[in-house]
């Protein structure tokens, strides 16, 4: 276990509610859960932006842009910077499913 410095005022108050180490671990766990949920929400929001822009989910877009030359040409003509979008979309898609 790692040592963590906690202000003395906090530890004094925590003692009122129970074992300090246990309460700190519970607080860290709640914080991490909150941050993971926020990250998932952000990833879903970013992915939805790309889905709205391109009218497809990530897997379908990715497959079609690689295999369908007509679709590739259409996307390239409509958005010259689509490859940057695709990379960002892949990042958010992975974050959405990996978290």
* Whether residue 61 has pLDDT greater than 60: yes
3-class secondary structure, 99:
coil
Q: What element of type H or E holds 59?
A: helix 58-67
- pTM, full prediction: 0.76
Instruction: Give the model's pLDDT for residue 84.
Output: 97
Is the pLDDT assigned to residue 97 strictly greater than 80? no
- Closest C-alpha among 13, 93, 20, 19 to residue 50: 93
Confidence at residue 66, expressed as pLDDT on a 0 to 100 scale: 96
Write down the pLDDT at residue 99.
Answer: 57
How crowded is residue 61: how many other Cβ atoms within 10 Å of its Cβ? 23
Q: Dihedrals φ, ψ of 57, to 5°?
A: -80, 170
DSSP symbol at 56 = S
Name the phi and psi angles at 14, rounded to 5.
Answer: -60, -35
pLDDT tens sequence across 64-94: 999 999 999 999 999 999 999 999 999 999 9
pLDDT at 96: 78
* pLDDT tens, residue by residue, 21-50: 999 999 999 999 999 999 999 999 999 999
């Amino acid at each position: 276990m790692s040592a963590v410095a906690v202000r003395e005022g906090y530890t004094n108050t925590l003692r009122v509610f129970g074992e300090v180490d246990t309460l700190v671990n519970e607080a860290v766990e709640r914080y991490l859960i909150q941050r993971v949920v926020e990250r998932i929400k952000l990833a879903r929001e970013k992915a939805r932006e790309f889905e709205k822009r391109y009218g497809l989910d990530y897997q379908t877009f990715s497959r079609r842009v690689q295999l369908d030359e007509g679709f590739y040409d259409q996307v390239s003509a409509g958005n010259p910077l689509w490859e940057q979008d695709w990379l960002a979309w892949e990042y958010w898609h992975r974050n959405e499913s990996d978290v």
